[in-house]
A and B are shown apart, each in its own frame.
Chain A
Amino acid sequence: MDEVEQTEAEQTEVEENEAENFGYDDVPGVTLTDSNAISDFLKKTKVQDVLNWGRKNSLWFTVNAMGCCGVELLSTGMAHYDTDRFGIIPRNSPRHADVLIISGYVTKKYLPALKRVWDQMPSPKWVIAFGDCAISGGPFYESYSTHQNVDEIFPVDVFVPGCPPRCEALIQGFVELQKKIEAKKDRGTEY
């Protein structure tokens, strides 16, 4: 019990110190800033273009095969289509990924898990709705267990239609996403 109390005391101490830190704004000659302020500043300059150039050429995507489209998703990342040459690399961990590909029907049971995968991905991050099921429900639009209107839940940037779309279509989807990022029209970054 003592230890718990001690840590609680330490925490309040830390909070107090932090509260004191805010006072440095008043000291002449000292300016403090946080990362948000830096990125807000950069967004207004040409540096953001360079950042976006880097981002659009390293779109790593999560491998979460959720349906028929998931098989095409696997094939796209592998030897024959070889998206590595565009900087589009399949990653197994959502922590490493920039692009979430919703590759199938989102069911009522799976939606919380998918949201969690989305939350685990670090910003900036984008969503591609791959296949008819993710766009409009596809053949399962009337099912009792699927969740419709996925684009209202996730900020989808690119829709790739098809049932399932071919691998070339997914690559085309990535190219469209790159164009959007370059034009600063994507929904993954706030401008």
Chain B
Amino acid sequence: MDANTIIDSLSGQFPDDIYDTDVESGIRILAKVKPENVVEVCRYLKEDLSFDHLGCEFGVDYPDRNEIEVVYLISSYDHPVVLTLKAILPRDNPEIESVVPVYWNANWYERETYELFGVKYINHPDLRQLVLPEEMLGEWPLRKDYKGFPNKTAKNLV
């Protein structure tokens, strides 16, 4: 399956939800998705376009644009095309539907994005902290305006 047919099929199926599509190379394609319908898009990708491998899911913080991007890297065990799917959320109240019902391994990725960026996942089976101690929840350390970095507690700092 090549990149152009995938993009055409995707934007043909979801004309209202998929926008800003781009074919970077034969194995890298890019699309943006409206956050409301990310689960349906993912289900279509998995069942009809054989994108059965969620490589990664993470957030990127853009304070100037007042946005948080949630990026899904979806690839396949059968073909080498990697799709970068982006959902843009408002920075004040980032909320998006969880894709755990489609991609089982999104569970930890979403928990991590939640504790590092503060993105709330609706219908996530078990949304709580993953890598941080419980008392650090709510600081969202990977946001660009996080105050606790750099940590100045070490002795003998030059």
Contact = CB atoms under 8 A, between A and B. Distances in A.
A and B touch in the complex (CB under 8 A): yes
Interface of A: 108-109, 136-137, 141-146, 148-149
17 contacts: A108-B136, A109-B131, A109-B133, A136-B156, A141-B151, A141-B154, A141-B157, A142-B150, A142-B154, A144-B139, A144-B146, A145-B131, A145-B132, A146-B151, A148-B154, A149-B153, A149-B154
B136 A143 contact: no
Nearest to A136: B154
B136 A145 contact: yes
B12 interface: no
A148 B148 CA distance: 14
B155 interface: yes
Given A108-B133, A108-B136, A109-B132, A142 B149 contact: yes
Nearest to A110: B133
Interface string B130-144: 011100100101000
- Secondary structure of the A contact surface, majority rule: loop
Interface of B: 131-133, 136, 139, 141, 146, 148-157
Contacts of B148: 144
Nearest to A140: B151
B111 to A, nearest CB: 15
Contacts of B154: 136-137, 141-142, 148-149
Contacts of A149: 153-155
A137 to B, nearest CB: 5
B118 to A, nearest CB: 15
Contacts of A143: 149, 151
Nearest to A147: B153
Contacts of B131: 109, 145
B153 A148 contact: yes
A137 B158 CA distance: 13
A145 B141 CA distance: 9
A146 B154 CA distance: 10
Contacts of A146: 151
A146 B136 CA distance: 12
Contacts of A136: 154-156
A63 to B, nearest CB: 24
Nearest to A149: B155
A136 B157 CA distance: 9
A144 B141 contact: yes
Q: List 3 tightest A-B contacts by C-beta distance, closest first.
A: A142-B150, A148-B154, A109-B133
Contacts of A142: 149-152, 154
